[in-house]
Amino acid sequence: MKNLTTLFLVLIFSFIISCATKEQKIGPDYFRNKTFTFYTNDTFPPFKLNFDDSTCFLIDESPTEYNWKLNYYNNSNFLILNNIVFGIKLSPKGNDFELINIEENNHFKVVLEKAKYKKASFIGEWIFDKIDSYNISNSELPLPPPPYESKENGNETWPPKLTITKDSIFYEYLNFRSKSKYKLDNSNQFMFLNLNSEFSNKNHVLWEIDQFNDTILYIKSYIKNSEEIRSIKLKRTVDNKKRDELIQQQL
């Protein structure tokens, strides 16, 4: 144990000596409630981490949660992430910085993902327009016709519809209904959910907002326990005035 402590101190001092200038102490708000993209050389592909108060999670189909905290020692900042120590080299360019893995000497360029959309903008009713499966074709496919003629009095929903509220998503397809709570990452570009879909009979667990405006929403949907990625085009069902009324009801 003593040898490990000595090694750890040597690594820290090696990092401090490698820094030409003293770093200004940073606080938790430097990371808290923010999403960052981590870039490295060919060792790892780029990945994103979403930071909350004391935990962060990897943005993918099965988000993994990690503990994090900051430490300041001898004029240098350190990020302790899942018990791994990273030296922080700040950049004069705003919130971008570099992380150095003290033990393995891996370097990460870290870039802040600014909030791209307002959360309230997604609230409302959306109908499915096109669906494409990336592992089948790269071109969009038109929405298929309903599998049978409606024999009940107006109980079926076609085309499929999503209703997004401030914290939930409701899905309607013919007589099928499902719903899920959701959470947006701090950049409002990724939506975590657990929504069952009649189309795939599998759960959608991560939505990436690919394109968005007042009337059109493009989503890349990641399916649980599958390499399949579905591209979904949604159209808003109401005009701007009605949309704004729906938003105000949810706030």
- Outline which parts of the chain fall under CATH 2.40.128.20: 119-250
Statement: residue 181 has pLDDT above 90: yes
Residue 142: other Cβ atoms inside 10 A? 9
For the domain 19-113, what is the CATH superfamily, name and number? Protein of unknown function DUF4909 (2.40.128.570)
**pLDDT of 149 above 60:** no
Given a cut of 50, whether residue 42 has pLDDT beyond it is yes
Positions of CATH 2.40.128.570 in the chain: 19-113
E strand intervals along the chain: 34-39, 47-51, 55-58, 65-73, 76-81, 84-90, 97-101, 107-113, 124-133, 141-142, 157-164, 168-174, 176-181, 183-184, 190-197, 202-212, 216-223, 229-236
The dotted CATH code for 119-250 is 2.40.128.20
Closest to 33 measured CA to CA, from 114, 118, 116, 121: 114
Residue 46 has pLDDT above 60, yes or no: yes
Q: For residue 251, name the pLDDT band (cuts at 50, 70, 90).
A: low
Query: Average of pLDDT values for 204-229?
Result: 88
Q: Whole-model pTM?
A: 0.75
**Using 50, 70 and 90 to split pLDDT, how confident is the model at 151?**
very low
Mean pLDDT of 225-230: 80
> In the Cβ-directed half-sphere of 75, how many Cα atoms lie within 13 Å?
8
* pLDDT at residue 64 is higher than 60: yes
Report the pLDDT value the prediction gives residue 11, as an integer from 0 to 100: 44
Taking Cα atoms as reference points, which of 194, 223, 192, 197 lies closest to residue 209?
Answer: 192
pLDDT 10s digits, 7-41: 344 444 444 444 446 678 899 999 999 999 999 87
Supply the pLDDT for residue 15: 45
